[in-house]
Amino acid sequence: MVTLTFPTWMEPYRALATGKMTGEQWQTLLRQLIWPVLGMAVFLLLWQLAAQRIDTSLGQFPGPADVWEQAGTLVDEHQATRAKEEAFHERQEKYIASRLEQQPEWEPVYRDYTGAPTFFDQIGTSLITVMSGFLLASVIAIPLGIFIGLSNTAHAAMNPLIQLFKPVSPLAWLPLVTMVVSAVYVSDDPLVAKSFLTSMFTVTLCCLWPTLMNTAVGVTSVSQDLTNVSKVLRLNALSHVGKIVLPSALPMMFTGLRLSLGIAWMVLIAAEMLAQNPGLGKFVWDEFQNGSSQSLGRIMVAVIVIGLIGFLLDRLMLMLQRALVWDKSSVQR
Amino acid sequence: MKALLELSNVGMKFDTPKGQFEALKDVNLKIDSGEFVSLIGHSGCGKSTVLNIVAGLLQATDGGVILDKHEVTEPGPERAVVFQNHSLLPWLTAFENVELAVKQVFRKTKSKAEIRDWVEHNLELVHMAHAMHKKPDEISGGMKQRVGIARALAMQPQVLLMDEPFGALDALTRAHLQDSLMEIHAQLGTTVIMITHDVDEAVLLSDRIVMMTNGPSATIGEILEVTVPRSRDRLALADDPTFVRCRQQVLQFLYEKQRKVEPLPRRNSAKAEANRKRA
């Protein structure tokens, strides 16, 4: 005999199916399902009503139905491009094979497919860029934050700089980063594109600060009692940092990392738009320049996807935080 | 016999924005091996400063501390401290908290299995074997303090320093822990210096009670030998004439000789003034 066990959050739905609902389960159902769905429905309705009243030079502002349709089109386009790409590779293989038969000494030249990136390619590019920029920022910010937190001298020396650069908008960095990357990153066979580096460094420069500040504060606020324990145990500097300081600062550090990733995602889209670097930002900009009757709908799809990805990235950090941080009360929703 | 621990002319001056503040002056004390000594006095009298100087967490500005022929210059595991609010690392289990200390002290002399056994032995000593894999958040305040004691004992200190170890606990839990501490002291013969506010606790646990005068320039006022034979039972002691006399003497010192008059906060005294005028 098989017994099905339900996770606790599914309990109200099971009760609903069997017709045995308690008052509390109704409350849970309302909170988890009915209110959110209702909120979404009201939003879609207001959107539809408002969209009908806005006429732009590119036609009527897209309502939910138009956007849904465009989302479908984008998927179709993506699949069509993939099919074309496959066909291209097949043709190339055949051509090379036949030519090799006639001229065995010929060195075959393989070419990549050069079609325009689809919406989904742009999503992939943006995700890789944001994660690279974020990781680079974390690798710099965490050790630096620990150092600043531990040393009053370092804090005094670096605090003015941090305060100065923290509020700088990504758009101000972008021209500088572009020029520096162009000047410094000169290679005949580049490993990665310059545009990728420009976007990544801009993201890094902007999302460095929350992690840096929060790590430093976390390290500074290690309780005096725990520091005394470390002294009584005569832990050396390395064990002191590894066993006392780092775990103490971890909750604050994660708060910083989550903020940083959120900023990284926002900055990236702006940077891609301005610099015409591949990614979702470029997709939005291209559609805007394109100015067809479907453009606004396609941009709206991008807006929703950007929001969704931002949300998922935040959830990812939250899961990581839940798994790694000892102080569960520090993990907010 | 030479004393295990000797404080000679210990003085402590702090630099404050308002000038120098002399917290301690001429503290002289000799403690023998195996002795249980309590430090008692009103808050702010510098008891904790004395303990921190012995621990090495503070450096005396005058005089010095000698433990077993070595001058105390820095903190170390041979002077293990039980802190008032347990100070366990919240991300480690009880076992891991004790293990951290044991590994640090016996890394070179004990094998892995011996370390594990020693950690478990010390947790058993404080009756915490049943919850050794729980984190501090999952156990009560009294249990946390037991783990804190186990951690300190596991370092096999020459002197165990306790800074109001039971101050934050309720009366029942405190009584349990006092009994445990007496049991451990009888079993291991550890030398203990304990700070306390609690007169009954001091008399019940100590061989000698060191009573401190009020600051500034606090120093040792009187030292009382508690001659009640061990093992001591809290219920039987309630009527014991020696116990009652000792208790009386400590109370007299604290509330007659060293009566502490806290100045009333300004606003209250102004109000009192107004009330008096109205009356």
Chain segment A214-225, per-residue pLDDT in tens: 999 999 999 999
Looking at residue B72, the DSSP 8-state letter turns out to be -
Contact A258, A178 (CB under 8 A): no
Yes or no, beta carbons of B89 and A231 under 8 Å apart: no
Give the residue ranges of chain B where pLDDT is below 70.
1, 261-279
Q: Do B87 and A244 touch (CB under 8 A)?
A: no
How many CA atoms are closer than 13 Å to the CA of B186, on its beta-carbon side? 11
Q: In terms of CA atoms, which chain A residue is nearest residue B54?
A: A232
Q: Is residue B101 helix, strand or coil?
A: helix
Nearest Cα neighbor of A116 from A325, A333, A290, A256 is A290
- In whole angstroms, what is the distance from residue B20 CA to residue A306 CA? 62
What residues pair up with B14 in beta bridges, in sequence order?
A: B21
Question: Virtual CA dihedral for A86, A88, A89, A95, nearest 10 degrees?
Answer: 150
Q: Which residues are paired to B6 by β-bridges?
A: B30, B66
Q: CA B94 to CA B123: how far, in whole Å?
A: 8
Q: Which residues of A touch B135 (CB under 8 A)?
A: 326
With b for 16 or more beta-carbon neighbours within 10 A and e for fewer, the A155-175 pattern comes to: beebeeebeeeeeeebeebbe
Asked if residues B201 and B178 have their Cβ atoms less than 8 Å apart, the reply is yes
Spatial separation of the C-alpha atoms in residues A221 and A244, rounded to whole Å: 12
* AA identity, residue A1: M
Residues of B in contact with A225 (CB under 8 A): 83, 85, 87
- CA B218 – CA B225 distance, rounded (Å): 21
**Stretch (H or E) spanning B224:** strand B220-225
Q: Touching check for B89 and chain A: CB below 8 Å?
A: yes
- Encoding tokens for residue A311? 């949300």
Among left, alpha and beta (phi > 0; psi -120 to 50; other), residue B164 is left
For residues A279 and A199, give the distance between their C-alpha atoms in angstroms, rounded to a whole number.
10
Mean pLDDT, to the nearest integer, of A312-317?
Answer: 94
Domain boundaries of chain B, sorted by first residue: 31-57+68-80+159-278, 90-156
Q: How far apart are CA B169 and CA B179, in angstroms?
A: 14
Tens of pLDDT, residue by residue over A118-149, are 899 999 999 999 999 999 999 999 999 999 99
CB B60 within 8 A of CB B53: yes
pLDDT at B84: 85
Q: Among B213, B220, B214, B230, which Cα is nearest to B36's?
A: B230
For the cut 90, the answer to whether the pLDDT of residue A310 exceeds it is yes
User: What 3-state class would DSSP assign to B86?
Assistant: coil
Would you state the pLDDT for residue A145? Answer: 95
The pLDDT assigned to B45 comes to 83
- The one-character DSSP state at B160 is E
Query: Under an 8 A CB cutoff, do B81 and A326 touch?
Result: no
* Distances, alpha carbon A25 to alpha carbons A7, A11, A30, B79, B206, in Å: 14, 8, 8, 57, 59
Which of B57, B74, B135 is closest, CB to CB, to A228? B57
SS3 of residue A196 by DSSP: helix
DSSP letter, residue B218 = B
Listed range (A64-68, A170-174, A175-179, A206-210) with the worst mean pLDDT: A170-174
Q: pLDDT (tens digit, 9 = 90+) per residue, B212-224? A: 998 788 899 899 9
- Best mutation target among A225, A232, A246, A329 (most B Cβ atoms within 10 Å) is A232
A51's CB contacts (< 8 A; 6+ apart) are A60, A61, A62, A63, A66
- DSSP-derived letter for residue B136 is G
A250 token code pair: 């971890």
User: A9: which 2 tokens?
Assistant: 């959050």
Nearest CA in chain B to A329: B137
CA B219 – CA B26 distance, rounded (Å): 6
Distance CA A32, CA A30 (A): 6
> What would the mean pLDDT of A187-213 be, rounded to a whole number?
88
Whether the bond between A248 and the residue before it is cis, its omega within 30 degrees of 0, is: no
- B77–A228: do the CB atoms touch at under 8 Å? no
* Beta-ladder partners of B160: B192
For residue B155, the one-letter residue type is M
Indicate if the pLDDT at residue A300 is higher than 60.
yes
Mutation pick from A228, A229, A248, A330 vs chain B, by most beta carbons of B within 10 Å, is: A229
- pLDDT of res. A332: 59
Residue of A nearest to B88 (CA): A226
List, as ranges, residues 198-257 from A with C-beta within 8 Å of B: 223, 225-226, 228-229, 231-235, 239, 243-244, 247, 250
**Sequence ranges of the domains in chain A:** 122-325
Tell me the mean pLDDT in the region A316-326: 88
Q: Does B55 touch chain A (CB under 8 A)?
A: yes
φ, ψ dihedrals at B223, nearest 5°: -125, 130
What is the least distance, in Å, from the CA of B261 to any CA of chain A? 30
Reported ipTM: 0.84
What kind of fold does domain B31-57+68-80+159-278 have according to CATH? Rossmann fold (3.40.50)
Collect all residues with Cβ–Cβ distance below 8 Å to A175 and sequence separation of at least 6. Answer: none
A122-325 CATH, one of 1.20.1250.20, 3.40.50.300, 1.10.10.10, 1.10.3720.10: 1.10.3720.10
Alpha carbon separation from A129 to A185, A206, A284 (Å, rounded)? 17, 14, 17
Give the pair of three-digit tokens for residue B4.
């295990």
Cα distance between residue B64 and residue B7, in whole Å:
6
N- to C-terminal Cα separation, chain A: 39
Identify all chain A residues contacting B74, using CB atoms and an 8 Å cutoff: 231, 234
> Is residue A1 scored above 60 in pLDDT?
no
Q: Which residues contact B146 (CB under 8 A, 6 or more apart)?
A: B126, B127, B128, B177, B180
- Cβ neighbours for A252, distance < 8 A, ≥ 6 positions apart: A214, A215, A217, A218, A221, A330
Rounded-to-integer distance, Cα B48 and Cα B40, Å: 10
Q: Please state the φ and ψ torsions of residue B261, each to the nearest 5 degrees.
A: -105, 105
- Amino acid in position B97: N
Is-contact B5 B31, C-beta < 8 A? yes
Output the six-digit token pair for B16: 């404050």
DSSP string, A209-267: HHHHHHHHHHHHT--HHHHHHHHHTT--HHHIIIIIIHHHHHHHHHHHHHHHHHHHHHH
Decide if B123 contacts B95 (C-beta within 8 A). Answer: yes
Residues 92-131, chain A, touching B (beta carbon < 8 A)? none
**Which pLDDT does position B274 carry in this prediction?**
54
